[in-house]
Amino acid sequence: MAKRVEQIRGPFDPQGQPNFESQNSVYLGVFAWNLAGGGAPTIAVMEDPERRRDYWQWPAASHLIKEADRIGCEFQVPFGRWLGHGGITEYNENTLDFLTVAAGLAPLTSNILLPSTAHIGYQHHPVQFAKWGAAIDHMSDGRWGLNVVAGWIRDEVEMFGETFMDHDLRYDVCDEFVTFMKHCWYADEPFDFEGDYFTGKDIWVTPKPSRKPRPVLVNAGYSPAGVDFATKHCDWLFAANPSGDPQDLGDVANRAKEQAEKYNRQVRVMSFCYCIWEETDEKAETLLAEQQGMMDELATSWHLYRGLDQPGTKTGASFSLPLGGETATLKQAVGAENFVRYGLGIAGRQIVGGYDSVAEHIRMLHTDYGQEGQLFCWLDPLRGIHQLEDHIIPRLRKMGLRK
């Protein structure tokens, strides 16, 4: 009989946290590149569906991340999706899954981190993830990571025959899940696990992950429960910016830092951004207005509706806007300005401007608001990567933020 492990909740890093060091002060990455339409529910994608919507298809998608790897991006973070949001653009109706992208990219790339984004609440088991992750980490020479998502869409949860749990309780499941997974990676002999949500007997996972002591864990928690989970278990936090106020990003960074200290840990914060970059501020602003004027309203409404449709309390989340009367449109209920801001870029920050302003914007988020990295998504991601290489990285270099 294997020995039952005692600890079933975090913080749990008996061998410390993994190092993920780059020579650069500001880390860069690509976000939401693995699904149809990425973070852009705008009819502007239909003007060039191949480049603006269907880049998730493997030949284009693998080329995109190979390019990101070549130009020195530290991260790519795929999006997790089990249901699309429809609309005229068939927004997010196709999505490469979290195993395929990480394992498939491993042989094609050299340095870039390959986290999977997965909703661990969807009928998954920690032993599965420990084994899958260790295998991808082995095949990529220590470049796998996990972006832990609790699950926030009722329709997706119900797809697996599960009940949509109260928000904070979902993070309790995550806590136990990740503790269990870490046991699989750390254990040097078979063990039993008996938790509130997961059990297992005589568990033995090899190979162990290549990165020591374990793969990099990230989380995009924004609520207090989410940030608490991230600071207990993860190494990075990806921050949304639904209000559009950079001070909120600074607050998340401070909160994460303070709370991590309580757990005797370190958590670094980066934000994800929807980007429109052009030669001049004016041109970028014009394009933003165009895209906002062409919102795929059904897709955006579905997306926001699903985000708002939460049982129980969602403590402190600024997403929790009151819904209007039955005849109101979702756009009216959340306000037209919020509608386009949440819609374009999945409630992330928006970086819109000429190349000089964009570089300055990234510097500001780094220096003034504690954002150690940026994850970008664009209407046309391949062009975005090209702009990053040709216009943004050189400017960041001059500022001393990139080597």
Partner 1 sequence: MTSETTETHSPEGAEQPEEEITQTVALQTLQPQRKFHQKVAITRGPFDPGGQPDVESPHRLLVGLWGWNVSCGTVASRAVLEDRDRFRDYWQWPRASALVKSADRAGFDFELPFERRFGYAGEIGFHEDSLDSLTTAPALAQVTENLTLFSSIHMNEHAHPLHIARFGGNFDHVSNGRWGLNIVPGWSRRDAEVFGLDTDYSLRYEIADEFVTLMKHWWSLTTPFEFEGEYFKSTRVGMVGPRPTRQPRPILICGDASEGAVDFAAKHCDWLLCNAPEDDLSLLAEHVERTRVYAAHNYGRRLKMLVQVFMTMAETAESAQAEYDELVAAIDSTAADNIVREALEQPGEAEGLLDTAIADRLGDGSLEELVGTANYRKLAIGFGGIHLMGSFDDVAEQLRDLADDHMQDAVALSFLDPMKGVHEVEDELMPRLKKMGLRA
Report the interface residues with partner 1, using CB under 8 A.
36, 57-58, 62, 81-84, 86-88, 92-97, 99-100, 102-104, 106-108, 122-125, 127-128, 131-132, 135-136, 138-139, 155-156, 158-161, 190, 198-204, 206-207, 297-298, 301-302, 305, 323-324, 326-331, 333
What is the Cα–Cα distance from 180 to 65, expressed in whole angstroms?
A: 31
What is the Cα–Cα distance from 395 to 356, expressed in whole angstroms?
A: 7
What's the closest the beta carbon of residue 331 comes to partner 1, in angstroms? 7
What's the closest the beta carbon of residue 123 comes to partner 1, in angstroms? 5
What's the closest the beta carbon of residue 140 comes to partner 1, in angstroms? 9
Closer to partner 1 by Cβ: residue 67 or 156:
156
Q: Tell which residue, 386, 375, 361, 356, has the closest CA to residue 71.
A: 386
Closer to partner 1 by Cβ: residue 155 or 261:
155
Closer to partner 1 by Cβ: residue 89 or 231:
89
Is-cis flag, bond preceding 224, omega within 30? no
Q: Tell which residue, 26, 21, 109, has the closest CA to residue 69.
A: 109
What's the closest the beta carbon of residue 138 comes to partner 1, in angstroms? 6
The tokens describing 8, both together, are 């079933």
Give the DSSP letter string of 228-250.
HHHHHH-SEEEEP-TT--HHHHH
> Long-range contact list for 362-368, CB < 8 A, 24+ apart?
362/26, 362/392, 362/396, 362/401, 363/26, 363/396, 363/399, 363/401, 364/246, 365/246, 365/249, 365/271, 366/25, 366/26, 366/401, 368/246, 368/250
What's the closest the beta carbon of residue 360 comes to partner 1, in angstroms? 36
What's the closest the beta carbon of residue 203 comes to partner 1, in angstroms? 5
Query: Residue 279, exposed/middle/buried by CB under 10 A (0-12, 13-18, 19+)?
Result: exposed
What's the closest the beta carbon of residue 8 comes to partner 1, in angstroms? 13
What's the closest the beta carbon of residue 107 comes to partner 1, in angstroms? 4
Closer to partner 1 by Cβ: residue 26 or 36:
36
Task: Give the Cα-Cα-Cα angle 282, 284, 28 (nearest 5 degrees).
Answer: 135
What is the Cα–Cα distance from 261 to 245, expressed in whole angstroms?
A: 25
Q: Tell which residue, 74, 206, 210, 70, has the closest CA to residue 139.
A: 210
What is the Cα–Cα distance from 143 to 141, expressed in whole angstroms?
A: 6
Closer to partner 1 by Cβ: residue 297 or 380:
297
DSSP 333: H
Closer to partner 1 by Cβ: residue 138 or 363:
138
What's the closest the beta carbon of residue 61 comes to partner 1, in angstroms? 9
Query: Is the distance from CB of 115 to CB of 105 less than 8 angstroms?
Result: no
Closer to partner 1 by Cβ: residue 153 or 388:
153
What's the closest the beta carbon of residue 108 comes to partner 1, in angstroms? 6
Cα atoms in the Cβ-side hemisphere of radius 13 Å centred on 290: 13
Closer to partner 1 by Cβ: residue 19 or 128:
128
Closer to partner 1 by Cβ: residue 205 or 253:
205
Residues whose CB falls within 8 Å of the CB of residue 55, separated by 6 or more in sequence, listed in order: 33, 38, 61, 64, 381, 382
DSSP 113: B
Closer to partner 1 by Cβ: residue 21 or 326:
326
Q: Tell which residue, 257, 230, 250, 275, has the closest CA to residue 29.
A: 275
